[in-house]
Structure 1
Amino acid sequence: MKRSLMLIFIFSVAGCSNQTDVTLGDEPADPDRPYPGAQPIGEEQQDDFSYRLVSTKEEYQVGEPIEIYAELVYEGDEESITIGHAYSPFFFLFYEHLRGYTVDYPMPEPYVTTDLVRDQPLQEQYSGASGSTEADADYQSFLKEFNENEGLPVGEYSVTGIADFIIDQEPSKSYEISSEISFIVREGLE
């Protein structure tokens, strides 16, 4: 009986390993989505709009604030144009390659309009995300660390930035312009 209880204890402790103990260079959790390497700037052009997604660094330290921003520029013929969007036209979707975790960017969705003046960027800093519907305990632990610290846990990250808006004039047209960047978060200085 004691031996059975001991084996149950050993297996239950072994089953509680925390997946947040990853090291850089580990194989990605999703082999179909390997880490592309550090790419701190992504740019896309669609019609009269240019979109940029920027990380100010290729590599961060754990606990260091992540500095990411998105920028939308109207480059058309009009002096200005009105766009309609949710609370913000910008979304930031994170993917951590070593764990295979996605972190969503939920946002209130009132209808808001913004005037874009030609050649003047509308810019927004990334200010944090909240999570996903995944209920896995390791994911919840990762998400808690992700949301409670100013920085991110060790990992290899890709961020898909999206500018999602419509032209709020006739004829109206919908836009969803996206780009991806990637960076590394390391533990301590090397």
Structure 2
Amino acid sequence: MKLLMFHDDPPFWFETLRNLGLAAYGGSDVGEVIATASRVTPGDYDSWHDAWLSTAERLEAEERGSHPVSARDGLLRASSYYRAAEFFLHGHPEDPRIDHAYERGVSCFRDAIAHLPGVMPVEIPYEDTALHGPQPSTGTGRPSGRTGRTWSVPSWTSSPRTRVSIPPASRCSASVSAATSRPARPPTRRAWQPSSPSTVSSTPSPP
């Protein structure tokens, strides 16, 4: 496909295109994606982070406390933009910006689904931790076996139940490691501090 932006930076264009694709499902807005990407300096991972974080924080601040439908839609998009912000930072796992963007994105997503009728967050026990996800409030997840567990989990749509298989921990860890590997990035050129809590509130908007 022809690169419509970032002509000399295919990774940046690929991620921009991925975020454009989320618009079909309410996970982004075409205008917001283009406006954000236009503020990014090609090849500059810090610039990428700053642009997407700025859009995510602005959107989150605007939508919290708004009408439930607007809050749902805006917070869902904000969660996508927070994820985009930290995407290229994983060459340095100790970078505090990764956890900040991740935590804000999770908070936005959870508060967004709180405004989806009949959907509730669930925790599925797995080894010494839990897998998090949403499901219709009338569904149940049933683990079977110690390893290679399988749950029957209702999907988000009206389609029949979807079988979700979780591999044993060793295979799961290898798969996650391969899937989350990122290209290394240059060292950060400046210190970074998260936004003041007063700027972005984590309090869900009233129903």
User: Is the structural similarity TM-score above 0.5?
Assistant: no
Query: Normalised by the size of structure 1, how large is the TM-score?
Result: 0.23
Q: Comparing both structures, which one devotes a greater share of its residues to strand?
A: 1
Q: Comparing both structures, which one devotes a greater share of its residues to helix?
A: 2
Bigger Rg, structure 1 or 2: 1
Query: Normalised by the size of structure 2, how large is the TM-score?
Result: 0.22
